[in-house]
Amino acid sequence: MNAILVGVDGSDAATGAVRWAARAAAVENAELKLVGVYDASTSDYAPGLIIPQDVIDAIRQDASDAVHAAADAAKQVAPDVSVVTSIVDGDAGRVLLELGKEASMIVLGTRGLGSVKGLFLGSVSTTVAAHAHGRVVIVAGEGGGGPVVVGVDDSPVSEAAVAEAYRQASLRNATLVAVHTWTPLDVDALHGYGIDPDEVARMSQDAVEAVAERMAGFASDYPDVNVERKVLPEDPAKALLDAAGDDAQLIVVGSRGRGGFKGLLLGSTSQKVMHQAQCPVMVVRA
């Protein structure tokens, strides 16, 4: 079960995802499974159309070539990782979800082409992120050498994300930046509604104490992890992206949140984070 599954299609985005996943497999001592998904079926609008066998063979060969190139890319960055490759005919989302049941993590690039066109970051990636049993990572960029960033609220889903973020920070020898937004309104908006600066500061401090209490148990499990807390009034997606900056290694979010991260995944905030992040975004299910 300790395997990282990557959907590949020969695109630059998928190759970046493969490299990130290979490094993650080395860190987590996991097997790397690379799968090329191709769909040789016709649409509902052309049910009687028969695709010539030589065309199907060519599509399959493209998928095979992409997977072998991905394996070479993985070995370049993580030569000691065990790599398994396969190609599968079928719907990309269904295939990845089914194979993902036997994996500890699914990794996807942000956009794709060829036989799995639209795999990343369209309907397939959203579907996989929303429905996969384990962790899903969307790789927009391979990330820097900076912190692991996690969104925190008072939900059980957030707790799962925080636990994984601590684990990732420990594995990567990284600082953990915990971000909590106690209202989506920024400071200027709060002042505009008549809330004075002292009151904003008091509410922020109350939220800091609540976040510290929520994270206390994890701190004892990972004493090696240095934690920075950012508690502020702000749009949650903007707060996470700002905290990640240009050098974060990873952003970790729960599959669904409430409070300061209501609707985080897979609602508008998660879409914003996944579309705009410059580093990998990990979705963690409770």
Write down the domain spans for the chain. Answer: 3-139, 148-284
Residue 203 has pLDDT above 80, yes or no: no
Encode pLDDT of 123-146 as tens digits. 677 778 877 877 999 998 889 999
* Predicted local distance difference test score (pLDDT) of residue 219: 84
Question: What's domain 3-139's superfamily in CATH?
Answer: HUPs (3.40.50.620)
pLDDT in tens, 140-198: 888 999 999 998 877 777 788 899 999 999 999 999 999 987 665 566 665 666 666 77
Sheet arrangement for strand 105-109: 83-89, 31-38, 3-8, 105-109, 135-139, 281-284, 250-254, 148-151, 176-183, 227-233
Reported as a single tens digit per residue, the pLDDT across 273-286 is 877 888 999 988 86
Q: Do 148-284 and 3-139 have the same topology in CATH?
A: yes
pLDDT the model gives residue 43: 58
Is the pLDDT at 88 greater than 80? The verdict is: yes
Q: Which fold has domain 148-284?
A: Rossmann fold (3.40.50)
Mean pLDDT of 58-81: 94
Secondary structure of residue 39 in the 3-state scheme:
coil
pLDDT at 115: 41
